[in-house]
Structure 1
Amino acid sequence: MNPLLSHLQPYPFERLRQLFAGVVPPAAYSPISLGMGEPRHPTPQFIKDALSNNLSGLASYPATAGELGLREAFTRWLNLRYAITLDPATQVLPVNGSREALFSFAQTIIDPSKGQPLVVCPNPFYQIYEGAALLAGAAPYYAASDPARNFAVNWDAVPDSVWQRTQLLFVCSPGNPTGAVMPLTEWKKLFELSDQYGFVIASDECYSEIYFRDEPPLGGLQAADKLGRSDYKNLISFTSLSKRSNVPGMRSGFVAGDAALIKAFLLYRTYHGSAMSPIVQAASIAAWGDEQHVVENRTRYRKKFAQVTPLLAGVMEVALPDAGFYLWAKVPEQLAMDDAEFARALLAQYNVTVLPGSYLAREAQGSNPGAQRVRMALVAETEECAEAALRIVQFIQSRTA
């Protein structure tokens, strides 16, 4: 067996199952889960039709690079969304969802023969970053977010000795779980560090189309273009249809950026066997070519968060995020319980599931920045999320009265 497998930590939802062992939720309350970030709005009918109308694609082996029409759909969308122009032949690739791409990209980039490589990732973070680093033969370094700065990552706290060993940096903007969006000044800092130390930046942007401000979140490629880096040196962005179009089961997304990195990633993926089905390619072209359903989806989230956030803000520290579909709430101090105890007691008393924030972070530099927080995924319909919020309010009030 690969000895590196032993370094992997249990996934947050496995830890959640262990935490809930022995809990019998009250039958008087229907179960409501705010734990998993799985989009639950209906899949648009035109995407379903595109899938069912292209079943002849089952008879063909797909090309790893995807059909030219698919790659052109990516570049058209990038131009529409970010006002940037990329070459569909050399600067984009289809992937089977951002998760598999983030993992396999690390296997492409990391050179374990160059003494003790590091992969820097935000903390809290999406656990795939950590697993990708470990199985590529690198060690993760956790850069903590700062609650005083809307949970922006404190890159200035990363020492030069770490940057010197860094081969890959994972960023997530809008962030999971905090919803923080990186401004242009932060991108400028990271590009300068990349130029100085030679590491690659992997920009996870799967939540980019769910936002609550008038201005859409800045993307990594967009930031590079604004700063005169139109070759996108050492930068790859990752995006997906899962959240944007409510098709997590379709496993469809793309990567874009530095042509040299795309070429290397294509070589890896050719051997890895990760080509996208022709049926999914056809449906993806349809999805990337339509913005109306995205606007409607975003409107639903905005209305939902506008209703739920004030309810919870009355009893705990929580605020509307910049983007994404999570609330990152602080466990009230007067409850005298940690985030895991909060989640277990809430399930036991009101049959509502939330994810302990400490499960989404690591103890680093003397603290776990997810401790005493819980992540709530507002992915269900508004009525169900509002009911969950009311139960959480009742739970907190019952223990602080």
Structure 2
Amino acid sequence: MNPHLNQLQPYPFEKLKQLFSGITPNPAYTPISLGIGEPKHPTPAFIKQALADNLTGLATYPTTAGSDALRTTIAGWLERRYGLLHIDPATQVLPVNGSREALFALAQTVIDPASDALVMCPNPFYQIYEGAAYLAGATPYFVNSDPARNFAPDYASVPDDVWQRVRLLYLCTPGNPTGSVMTLDDWKLLFDLSDKYGFVIAADECYSEIYFKPEAPLGSLQAAALLGRGDFPRLIAFTSLSKRSNVPGMRSGFVAGDAAILKQFLLYRTYQGGAMSPSVQSASIAAWNDEQHVVENRAKYRDKFTRVTPLLQQVLDVALPDAGFYLWARVDQHADITDVEFARRLYAEYNVTVLPGSYLAREACGINPGRNRIRMALVAEVDECLDAALRIVAFTGTL
């Protein structure tokens, strides 16, 4: 067996299952889960219809590169969304089966396992980054998020001898779980470091279309173009339809950026078997070409966060994030209680599931930056999220 499999930790939701083992939640309350970031808004009817209308695609083998029509559609969306002058659909775009599998696979493409490589990750983080590093024969290196810097990792504090070993840097903007968005200055620092040390940047942007300010979050390709890096050297952006269009089960996304890296990534994926179904490609074209359903979806999230956040601010240290659909709350300001105990008791007493923040992070520099925080995914309809918030308020009052 691959010895690197032994380095993988249980997924956060497996830890949560173990935490709740043997607990019978209070039957006076119906169950509400804020634990998993799975979109619960209805899938737009036109996307389902586009999928149903193209089932003949099931009779043909798809190409790994996807259809010209899909790549051209994605390139057009990138140009509209980020104000880019030109994206080459033939060389700078590749469809993928959701951002998760592509985030994992990129590490296998760009890392030489004999190079004593480091893979830099934000902390807290999406656990795929860590698993991708280990299974590529590398070692993850975690940079803690800093609440004083809007939860941005302090990359400037990383020592030179660490940067010299970094081959791949994962980041998430808007962030999971913090919701923070990188600024143009943040990007300039990372691009300068990438130029100096030669590492690849993997920008996970799957939450980019859920935001609360009038202006949309800055994207990595957009930042590169603004800084005169129109060929996107050593930069790959990852985007998905799952959150944007409420189709997590469709497994549709794309990667875009450095054409030289994407050429090698296509070679890897041709062997891996990462081709998207032609039927899903047709539905994806319909989704990327429509913005009205995205505007409506974003409005629902804005309504939820506007109503839920003030309720929780009565009892928790929590703020409206820049973007995304998570609230990242500190829970220990009123009582000596850990994030794990908070989640366990909330489930037992009020039948509400939240995810302990320490499950989403690792100890780095003597700190687990998720400790004494919880992540709440406001993915259900507004009434259910409000009910959960009221229960959390009641529960916190008992501490």
TM-score by structure 2 length? 0.99
| TM-superposition CA deviations, 1:264-306 (whole Å, max 9, x none) | 0000000000100000000000000000000000000000000
Is 1:89 aligned to 2:90, yes or no?
A: yes
CA contact (8 A) 2:339 2:371 kept: yes
Partner of 1:153: 153
Shift of 1:29: 0.1
Partner of 1:126: 126
Is 1:185 aligned to 2:185, yes or no?
A: yes
Alpha-carbon distance in structure 1 between the residues aligned to 2:341 and 2:135: 32
Partner of 1:37: 37
CA contact (8 A) 2:317 2:333 kept: no
Partner of 2:285: 285
CA contact (8 A) 2:326 2:378 kept: yes
Partner of 2:300: 300
Residue 107 of structure 1 aligns to which amino acid in structure 2? Q
Partner of 1:395: 395
Structure 1 SS opposite 2:94: strand
Q: Which moved more, 1:151-160 or 1:220-229?
A: 151-160
Q: Which moved more, 1:324-333 or 1:94-103?
A: 324-333
Alpha-carbon distance in structure 2 between the residues aligned to 1:96 and 1:11: 20
Alpha-carbon distance in structure 1 between the residues aligned to 2:392 and 2:22: 21
Alpha-carbon distance in structure 2 between the residues aligned to 1:157 and 1:17: 36
Is 1:257 aligned to 2:257, yes or no?
A: yes
Residue 59 of structure 1 aligns to which amino acid in structure 2? A
1:165-244 aligned at under 5 Å gives the runs: 165-244=165-244
Residue 337 of structure 2 aligns to which amino acid in structure 1? M
Is 1:315 aligned to 2:315, yes or no?
A: yes
Is 1:104 aligned to 2:110, yes or no?
A: no
Shift of 1:332: 3.0
Partner of 2:4: 4
Shift of 1:156: 1.3
Alpha-carbon distance in structure 1 between the residues aligned to 2:292 and 2:235: 29
Shift of 1:337: 1.1
Residue 90 of structure 1 aligns to which amino acid in structure 2? T
Alpha-carbon distance in structure 1 between the residues aligned to 2:145 and 2:332: 20
Residue 150 of structure 1 aligns to which amino acid in structure 2? N
Residue 90 of structure 2 aligns to which amino acid in structure 1? A
Is 1:270 aligned to 2:270, yes or no?
A: yes
Structure 1 SS opposite 2:397: helix
| TM-superposition CA deviations, 1:313-360 (whole Å, max 9, x none) | 001100000000000000033321100000000001000000000000
Structure 1 residue ranges, 4+ long, deviating more than 6 angstroms after superposition: none
Is 1:340 aligned to 2:340, yes or no?
A: yes
Residue 70 of structure 2 aligns to which amino acid in structure 1? L
Structure 2 SS opposite 1:239: strand
Partner of 1:245: 245
Shift of 1:147: 0.5
Matched residues, percent identical? 70
Residue 2 of structure 2 aligns to which amino acid in structure 1? N
Alpha-carbon distance in structure 2 between the residues aligned to 1:65 and 1:41: 30
Alpha-carbon distance in structure 2 between the residues aligned to 1:98 and 1:370: 24
| TM-superposition CA deviations, 1:172-208 (whole Å, max 9, x none) | 0000000000000000000000000000000000000
Structure 2 SS opposite 1:119: strand
Alpha-carbon distance in structure 2 between the residues aligned to 1:396 and 1:6: 38
Alpha-carbon distance in structure 1 between the residues aligned to 2:243 and 2:333: 33
Shift of 1:83: 1.0
Partner of 2:64: 64
Aligned-pair RMSD on alpha carbons?
0.5
Residue 104 of structure 2 aligns to which amino acid in structure 1? F
Alpha-carbon distance in structure 1 between the residues aligned to 2:248 and 2:220: 23
Structure 1 SS opposite 2:140: strand
Structure 1 SS opposite 2:236: strand
Residue 42 of structure 1 aligns to which amino acid in structure 2? P
Partner of 1:138: 138
Shift of 1:150: 1.2
Alpha-carbon distance in structure 2 between the residues aligned to 1:129 and 1:15: 18
Alpha-carbon distance in structure 1 between the residues aligned to 2:56 and 2:7: 43
Residue 137 of structure 1 aligns to which amino acid in structure 2? G
Shift of 1:22: 1.1
Alpha-carbon distance in structure 2 between the residues aligned to 1:263 and 1:245: 28
Q: Which moved more, 1:151-160 or 1:122-131?
A: 151-160
Alpha-carbon distance in structure 2 between the residues aligned to 1:397 and 1:27: 20
TM-score by structure 1 length? 0.99
CA contact (8 A) 2:236 2:258 kept: yes
Structure 2 SS opposite 1:393: helix
Is 1:75 aligned to 2:75, yes or no?
A: yes
| TM-superposition CA deviations, 1:87-130 (whole Å, max 9, x none) | 0000000000000000001100110122x100001000000000
Q: Which moved more, 1:153-162 or 1:210-219?
A: 153-162
| TM-superposition CA deviations, 1:199-220 (whole Å, max 9, x none) | 0000000000000001100000
